Amino acid sequence: MKQDNITNQRISGAEALVRSLLEAGADTVFGYPGGAILPVYDCLYDYADRLRHILVRHEQGAVHAAQGFARVSGRTGVVIVTSGPGAANVITGLSDAMADSTPLVVVTGQVGQQYLGSDAFQETDVVGITQPITKWAYQVRRAEDIPAAVARAFYIASTGRPGPVVLDIAKDAQIGTLDWLYEPVNFIRSYNPSPEIDTKLIAEAAEIINAATRPMILVGQGVTISGAEDALRNLAEKASIPVCSTLLGLSALPSDHRLMKGMLGMHGNLGPNINTNRADVIVAVGMRFDDRVTGNTELYAPDAKIIHIDIDQSEFDKTVRSTVAVHADAREALEALLPLVTDAGHNEWIDSFDRHNRVEDREVAAVELNRPEGSKLTMGEVISRVSEAIGDRAVAVTDVGQNQMMSARYFRFTRPRSFITSGGLGTMGFGLPAAIGAKIAAPHRQVCLFCGDGGFQMTIQELGTIMQYGVGVKMIILNNNFLGNVRQWQNLFYNRRFSQTPMLNPDFVRIAAAYGICGEDVSEREQLDAAIGRMLADDRPYLLNVRIDETDMVFPMIPAGSAVDRIFLSEGRIYNPDNWSEQ
Amino acid sequence: MLPPERQLFTVTVYSENCVGLLNQVSVIFTRRCLNIEDVSASASSVPDIHKLTLTTWADRPTMEKVVRQIEKRVDVIRAFLYTDDDIVYQEVALYKVPTPRLLESAAVEDIVRHHGARILEMTPDYTVIEKSGHPWETEALLNRLRSLDIRQFVRSGRVAVTKSPVEHVDIYLEQQRRRQLKLKDK
């Protein structure tokens, strides 16, 4: 490897950066030029045929696009921005990628070495600011350090629990020269991303699973990241264990798999949440017991022995105590468990999920999906009609809020890496740029964005990116002229005082038109299917601005801080599973 | 449920010697609003490996999470949590007192004998006294010297070594060496 790369060429640091990105496997970068990164942009001009650069309209958009790219493809997303304001604008995305374990390498330009620390023009302390919200942040001050820093950055970003990495490259390091040599990194002394599996713990876990009468598997994004979808399915099928998913775990198992029982947490399904507090064994795989999943941890899963499988040791016992903590890659752990588990049937237990979910279908979904004639459209209706029409292989990208929860509930997933959403950080404005990145990573898959009118306007300028590169994203604005999720909380918990949630919105279709993007308004139920048909008729970007009933709320709902089995089916109506007559 | 009991913990962090390491560690305390009582940074017995020693008042469940979050940092090799029973520890304190007052008081013998301190420097104007020991010992000498119109007092962060016969960092480094060899064979 080493030999092939020695060319005895003296090249600039900027060129070394571009070549190193190519060596590390990148073919696309998202970015925005500026003073302190100009040498790199000058070099990108020569490499345009090998390294495609997508010019976004704001640096925040570059990071979210790289996140969408990474989440759909499993590859590391790459971002290049300038110093100072350029770097400051990537903070939200870095924090989001850190929360959602997304592999990113973000290159920021930095002022020249002689100006460091002097409050120079467009200088900001990028490493100092980003250290708490990145997996690794490093400043490069010499040209000859660039290849090794890039190799290290990609290795750190993509291994173990993935995350964002920042390389802050001083301008003189970009201009200086070096002898070109690139060596990939696969070892760092202070870092072990692939812990050896403890077979004793696996045996212990299998014993607990085999003795269970009411077991369930909780799936997080770790399953997708480690490519453990088949291993998960095999284990669940062999041992007959129902599977429930976190928001980011969705699409690891197809929605219609007989053991897939739905989503956990605040707006999750009845079966998963009620049965969390009835299970005797919980196998949590690549998930971290977020507070949106657990509600009140003191009242969480009181009867369950918890087997927690995670690649990140710091997640063990962080919010919920486990009986067995397996520090391992999800796929390796599930594959190791498979031969040791036995099929215990659990039929009655499995049926109990469906029994609760049937109540939800009737009491919640049917109300959302079957509205009386002449009433306004609901989010659930639109999402489920798009989901039906768009068919197999589609990727759903969402923004944050009601649009996101409704998408999680009503979009049907058939294959992995089909749901891209901002989970941990809950970043409004994530959706549009993330959808762009997703479509660029997967040009042959349909990518549709479900977004609210508020979030859409947070990164609306990325319509320019769609225009410039002809990115065929299908955008559906679920427009209720309100910040809907905040409105829902105000409605339920703040006496209907709708403080600063009504929004006067522009004509979105005309805005899209100004960017050369086709679109249409939909306000009547009868228009919807035909409009969806036109949207999906070709590969071009399209915008549907759908007028939604502003009183539409996401249910079921577990109020923040409640036990997971205290679930509202609608306003003021709690589900009592022990005292529910099936009509 | 009663909140868990707070006590003084000592955290030791073995890391690569790189710029910004202390920031990476200290922000983990900041996030949880934990005050670092004292801190010291130095070389360790292993070449190129750096050792931080920090103390903080907190409860054990919190500190166990903090230490795992410190250890998660890529540049950190291992991090450990101790209470005073697990370690042998010391601090160094320096005291600057006016020489005339010191001589007048005839306290020198008491200071050297009873407090086990030593005189580092003596000029006609001032005397610098050094004492190492546990916090209450350096504190006791401070109180003794207050009557002599003490001008300056400073205490170092804690330095500590474990009582355990097992050297966990060495074991980790050996495991990593074996892992590296395996990766090279591939």
Answer whether residue A2 shows pLDDT above 50: no
A565-572 — which CB contacts under 8 Å span 24+ positions? A565/A273, A565/A274, A565/A276, A565/A277, A566/A295, A567/A270, A567/A273, A567/A274, A569/A359, A569/A360, A569/A363, A569/A364, A570/A363, A570/A364, A570/A367, A571/A491, A571/A492
Strands (E), A44-191: 52-55, 77-81, 104-110, 136-140, 164-170, 177-179
A119: pLDDT strictly greater than 80: yes
- Is there a contact between B14 and B78 (Cβ–Cβ < 8 Å)? yes
Structure tokens that stand for A400 in this block: 């944050």
Q: Which residues of A touch B19 (CB under 8 A)?
A: 127, 139
Rg of chain A in Å (alpha carbons):
24
pLDDT digits (tens, 9 = 90+) for A287-342: 999 999 999 999 999 999 999 999 999 999 999 999 999 999 999 999 999 999 99
Q: Which of A132, A190, A313 sits opposite B15 (nearest CB)?
A: A190
The Cα–Cα gap between A492 and B79 comes to 45
Q: Is the pLDDT of residue A278 over 80?
A: yes
What kind of architecture, by CATH, is found in domain A377-547? Answer: 3-Layer(aba) Sandwich (3.40)
In angstroms, the CA B102 to CA B98 distance is 6
**β-strand pairing of B87-98 with B118-122:** unpaired
- Residues composing chain B: 186
pLDDT > 80? residue B25: yes
A136 to chain B: which residues are within 8 Å by CB? 74-75
pLDDT at A280 over 70: yes
Q: Per the CB < 8 Å rule, is B183 touching A186? A: yes
Q: What is the pLDDT of residue B185?
A: 84
The architecture CATH gives domain A199-354: 3-Layer(aba) Sandwich (3.40)
Residue A210 contacts B where some CB pair is shorter than 8 Å: no
**Tens of pLDDT, residues B95-144:** 999 999 999 887 888 888 899 999 999 999 999 999 999 999 999 999 99
Q: A269: burial class by Cβ within 10 Å (0-12, 13-18, 19+)?
A: buried
Say whether A317 and B64 touch across the interface (CB within 8 A).
yes
pLDDT of A7: 59
Flag whether residue B76 sits within 8 Å of chain A, measured between CB atoms: yes
Q: Is the dihedral of CA B79, B81, B87, B88 positive or negative?
A: positive
- Tracing tokens 């017991």 back to the chain, one arrives at A289
Rounded to 5°, angle at Cα A159 from A153 and A160: 130
Reading the block at residue B101, the tokens are 């007052």
User: H or E segment at A513?
Assistant: helix A508-514
Sign of CA dihedral A287, A290, A292, A294: positive
**pLDDT over threshold 70, residue A73:** yes
- Please tell me if residue B138 touches chain A, with a CB cutoff of 8 Å: no
Q: At B16, which amino acid appears?
A: E
Instruction: Say whether A127 and B183 touch across the interface (CB within 8 A).
Output: no
Across the A:B interface, residue pairs with CB atoms under 8 Å apart total 52
Nearest Cα to Cα of residue A104 among A162, A168, A52, A48 = A162
Q: Which residues of chain B have a CB within 8 Å of the CB of A127?
A: 19-20
Contacts of A360 (CB under 8 A, 6+ apart): A269, A270, A271, A556, A569
C-alpha span between A132 and A130 (Å, rounded)? 6
Determine which of A126, A314, A317 to mutate to test the interface with B (most B C-beta atoms within 10 Å): A314
**Which residues of B fall within a CB distance of 8 Å from A126?**
none
- Measure the CA–CA gap between A442 and A469, rounded to whole angstroms: 14
Q: What is the pLDDT of residues A523-574, one digit of tens each?
A: 999 999 999 999 999 999 999 999 999 999 999 999 999 999 999 999 999 9
| Mean predicted confidence (pLDDT) in A488-511 | 97
What span, in angstroms and rounded, lies between the C-alpha atoms of A550 and A136?
43
Shortest CB distance from A314 goes to which of B72, B74, B180? Answer: B72
Q: pLDDT per residue over B41-56, tens digit each?
A: 999 999 899 999 999 9
CB A493 within 8 A of CB A507: no
Please state, rounded to an integer, the average pLDDT across all residues of chain A.
Answer: 96
Q: What percent of chain A has pLDDT over 70?
A: 98
DSSP label of A557:
B
- Structural contact between residues A469 and A443, judged by C-beta atoms closer than 8 angstroms: no
Q: How many whole angstroms separate alpha carbon B106 and alpha carbon B162? A: 39
Contacting A residues, span 124-153, partner chain B, CB-CB under 8 Å: 127-128, 131-132, 135-137, 139
User: Cβ–Cβ contacts within 10 Å for residue B43, how many?
Assistant: 11
Rounded to 5 degrees, φ, ψ at A385 are -70, -40
pLDDT band of residue A3 (cuts 50, 70, 90) is: very low
B24 in A contact zone (CB under 8 Å): yes
| Rounded Cα gap, residues A120 and A26, in angstroms | 32
The pLDDT assigned to B110 comes to 84
CB of B74 within 8 Å of a chain A CB? The answer is yes
Contacts of B77 in chain A (CB under 8 A): 189-190
Return the closest-CA partner of residue B92 out of B116, B108, B111: B116
Confidence of residue B10 (pLDDT cuts 50, 70, 90): very high
One-letter identity of residue A89: N
What residue segments make up the domains of chain A, in order of their start?
Answer: 2-179, 199-354, 377-547
CA distance A113 to chain B (A): 15
Strand extents, DSSP E, A273-370: 281-285, 305-310, 324-327
Domains A2-179 and A377-547 agree in fold: yes
How close, in Å, is residue A93 to chain B by CA atoms? Answer: 19
Statement: A2-179 belongs to CATH 3.30.70.360? no
- Nearest CA-CA distance, residue A84 and chain B, Å: 19
**Three-state secondary structure call for residue A60:** helix
Shortest distance, CA A22 to any CA of chain B (angstroms): 23
Contact B68 A192 (CB under 8 A): no
Q: Which domains does chain B have, with CATH numbers?
A: 6-82 (3.30.70.260), 88-159 (3.30.70.1150)
Q: Over the stretch A13-70, which tens digit does the pLDDT of each residue have?
A: 999 999 999 999 999 999 999 999 999 999 999 999 999 999 999 999 999 999 999 9
Alpha carbons within 13 angstroms on the beta-carbon side of residue A284 total 31
Instruction: Report CB contact under 8 Å: A191, B65.
Output: no
Return the pLDDT at A488: 97
pLDDT score for B1: 64
Q: Do B71 and A137 touch (CB under 8 A)?
A: no
Asked if the C-beta of A1 comes within 8 angstroms of chain B's C-beta atoms, the answer is no
Residue A258 has pLDDT above 90, yes or no: yes
Closest chain B CA to residue A321: B61
Q: Is B62 in the A-facing interface, judged by CB distances under 8 Å?
A: no
Candidates B35, B57, B44; CA nearest to B16 is: B44
Q: Above 80 in pLDDT, residue A392?
A: no
Q: Is B23 within 8 Å of A131 when comparing Cβ atoms?
A: yes
Residue of A nearest to B23 (CA): A128
